[in-house]
Amino acid sequence: MFASYLIRFRPKKEILTKYFYYYLKSPAYWDAIGASKSGIAVPNVNASKLSQVPIPVAPLDQQKRIVAEIEKQFSRLDQAVANLKRVKANLKRYKAAVLKAAVEGRLVETEAELARREGRSIETGAQLLQRILETRRRQWNGKGKYKEPAAPDTTDLPELPEGWVYVSLDQLTTQIADVDHKMPKPFEGGIPYVSTRDFIGESEIDFDGAKHISPSDFENLCKKVRPVRGDILLSRYGTVGEVRTVETDLPFQASYSMKPPRYSVPLRSRGFGYFCMR
């Protein structure tokens, strides 16, 4: 038995079932079926209309050769797809290995080694952190007493290369915030309201395909946080930890599914973003 929304038909013996099947998967068939569809809410086609769809029929022996060639070509394509999947998996592992080596100080010669060979001094990671914290303390204009950002617990962490230092996200950023959790209404032709589903590829953001909101909702949401070039967006729901750097000056807002940390100068947002991707 089969449901009423399915149509069953049985080819005559002069037509190979597989030849008929492959035709029904071809662009020509879908063009024909598209012209025969009716309905608005749920497009449909009935048996009467389907019976009038023109089908190109080759001689029986040629049908057999066509089917054999289709299956040979498809087998090659399936193998190519499998090879591409393996290549993609290998590339993903290689990228992960590159990022791992980078954040462990093994990708390039360390600044300490380079400076020693060139006979010069360097600003170490600890000195850079101190400079960041001093600048942050000096420029702070918030309410109440300034609170020093918490340092990370490094008890069980591996030893870093010479000149490196462990820091917390709190120490590196001037702001970690998300927008109000009230969902704004869609507004055609408005301002992009980006969520994690608009993360495409490995580093892109689909602003055109994102939901758009009204200018007034945008301004209200920006009272708490306004994403700007150089910010980093971290997903906090769904695929937790996905990261994108903001590389546009166009106005947009990030949904509450992510938190945009704003880092302290002189860190590079893209470099920090790569660390988050490892």
In the structure encoding, which two tokens stand for residue 107, read together?
Answer: 């990708």
The per-residue pLDDT for range 146-183, each reduced to its tens digit, is 888 889 999 999 999 999 999 988 888 777 777 677 78
Q: Is the pLDDT of residue 111 over 70?
A: yes
Q: Between 52 and 39, whose confidence is greater?
A: 52
DSSP strands (E only) in the chain = 173-176, 191-194, 199-200, 204-205, 211-213, 232-235, 243-245, 253-254, 258-259, 261-263
Arithmetic mean of pLDDT, 62-86: 94
In this prediction, residue 273 has a pLDDT band, given cuts at 50, 70 and 90, of very low
Q: What is the CATH number of domain 168-278?
A: 3.90.220.20
In the structure encoding, which two tokens stand for residue 258, read together?
Answer: 């992510």
Say which range, 61-75, 179-193, 225-239, has the weakest mean pLDDT.
Answer: 225-239
| pLDDT value of position 20 | 83
Most confident of 45-59, 107-121, 127-141, 189-203: 107-121
Q: How far apart are CA 79 and CA 38, in angstroms?
A: 38
Arithmetic mean of pLDDT, 72-98: 93
Residue 148 main-chain phi, psi, to 5 deg: -65, 135
Arithmetic mean of pLDDT, 22-43: 70
Q: Between 124 and 237, whose confidence is greater?
A: 124
| pLDDT value of position 249 | 94
In this prediction, residue 277 has a pLDDT band, given cuts at 50, 70 and 90, of very low
| pLDDT value of position 233 | 85
Q: Is the pLDDT of residue 232 over 70?
A: yes
CB distance 195 to 178 below 8 Å: no
Q: How far apart are CA 278 and CA 266, in angstroms?
A: 21
The mean predicted confidence, pLDDT, of the chain is 82
Arithmetic mean of pLDDT, 124-145: 88
DSSP states along 66-105? HHHHHHHHHHHHHHHHHHHHHHHHHHHHHHHHHHHHHHTT
Arithmetic mean of pLDDT, 94-104: 90
Hey, where are the domains in the chain? 168-278
In this prediction, residue 80 has a pLDDT band, given cuts at 50, 70 and 90, of very high
Q: Is the pLDDT of residue 27 over 90?
A: no
